[in-house]
Amino acid sequence: MTQVDLLLPAAPDRSTDLISQRVAPDDLAHAEAAASERDQEAVSSKPASRRPRRRLPWWTLAIGGAFIAAAAYVYVPSLYVVETDDASFQADTVSIVPKVAAYVSTLHVTDNSAFSAGQLLVELDPRDFQAAVDIADANLQSTQAAQAVAEAQLSEQSQVITADEANVAGDRGTLVFATQQLARFGELAKTGAGTTESWQQAQSNLTERQAALQRDIATLAAARGQVDVLQSQVAQAKANTTQAQAALAQAKLNLSYTKIYAPSAGTVASRSAQVGNFVQPGQTLFSAVPNEIFVIANFKETQLTRMRVGQPVSISVDAFPDRTLHGHIDSFQRGTGSNFALLPPENATGNFVKIVQRVPVKILLDGAEHDPGLLGPGMSVEATVTVRTPPIWLTWFL
């Protein structure tokens, strides 16, 4: 800038003059007021300064959520179900035993083979028992013949008695005639019309007839007494016949015992019999496991509070974890398992420590959804009893 410029006056601002010429004083005041209001609104729209909050660490929330989930997993199922893993399949297993001593001649089953009800399982050597049947039959025929003889003798004795009675009647008739003869010859002898010899002969004849009558009366009495003897012999013969019939029936029964049949449908287990073995009565040949099985679950006594007969049960088999069987409670054992042990506890002696006892519960399977060829006694299962119907949305959790 030069010295000449400093001395010259400043030129007026043309733009300012133009604005002042165009804007009236009232409009300028109105514009200033509007600008002031906008400034106040801008100041009031700014958020007030707040004190920052302190946030919890994420791991604290994770631990709390895990604790709540674990508590729900443990507590919620106990409201609706009761379960135990102290359970196993059981069956009314029958031991196949002989009733007579003999050699095993034929085995119609082998290890783990299946059989139906009434099927022939084992045959024993029948020859000794068949001979016993023949002997008993012969004894029966002999006793029957002896009985027939005794009955015939009894019938014949009645005829003998009839004949003796006729003899007695004849003797009495001749005795009367002899008495009359004696009287006649006695009168003749007194008058001299008859001889003394005739009178003596009539007297002797009377004595003889009296003796004959006494003899026939005694014979009749003996014949009648023989009837009692013969009746006793008939009764004895009948008893011998009955005994022989019983002996024959027992011999036939023993012969039938040489064939052992299946009491029910099932499978063979624990076979020890072999062809040619000599077996004794009561000796176990093998076990017959029936097709009908059930579950014995040993629940704690504190779990029985809400359990009732008929409640549904879900059964998980350890051998087949992908399969779930269904059943229902059949009955409760009246007594704990330890109470029927070989050495039951004696809580009245020594120091007492309370232990939660277990009670066996019988569970029957529903329908025929199990395979008897795969499931057997002793296999471990887990039983879950539904004591209260859960809501539908909670079913997946249980």
pLDDT at 42 over 70: no
Q: How far apart are CA 247 and CA 380, in angstroms?
A: 51
What is the average pLDDT across 208-221? 78
pLDDT classification of 68: cutoffs 50, 70, 90: confident
pLDDT classification of 311: cutoffs 50, 70, 90: very high
Q: For residues 107 and 124, is the Cβ–Cβ distance under 8 A?
A: no
Q: For residues 227 and 150, is the Cβ–Cβ distance under 8 A?
A: no
- Of 27-36, 54-63, 98-107, 145-154, the one with minimum mean pLDDT is 27-36
- pTM here is 0.65
Q: How far apart are CA 192 and CA 189, in angstroms?
A: 5
pLDDT classification of 121: cutoffs 50, 70, 90: very high
Domains 77-92+292-394 and 94-125+258-279 share a fold: no
pLDDT at 202 over 60: yes
Q: How far apart are CA 379 and CA 365, in angstroms?
A: 15
Please name the fold of domain 94-125+258-279: OB fold (Dihydrolipoamide Acetyltransferase, E2P) (2.40.50)
- Of 58-67, 100-109, 273-282, 340-349, the one with minimum mean pLDDT is 58-67
pLDDT of residue 282: 93
pLDDT of residue 221: 79
Distance of CA 170 to the CA centre of its chain: 81
Place of tokens 């959520």: 65
Most confident stretch, 211-220, 255-264, 386-395? 255-264
Please name the fold of domain 128-256: Helix Hairpins (1.10.287)
What is the average pLDDT across 213-225? 78
Identify the architecture of domain 77-92+292-394 in CATH.
Beta Barrel (2.40)
For 102, the 3-state DSSP assignment is: strand
pLDDT of residue 60: 74
In the chain, where are the structural domains located? 77-92+292-394, 94-125+258-279, 128-256
pLDDT at 12 over 60: no
Q: What are phi and psi of 214, to 5 degrees?
A: -65, -40
Q: For residues 311 and 387, is the Cβ–Cβ distance under 8 A?
A: yes
pLDDT tens per residue across span 333-384: 999 998 888 888 877 777 778 889 999 999 999 975 566 668 899 999 999 9
pLDDT of residue 18: 39
% of the chain with per-residue pLDDT over 90: 45
pLDDT classification of 228: cutoffs 50, 70, 90: confident
pLDDT of residue 351: 77
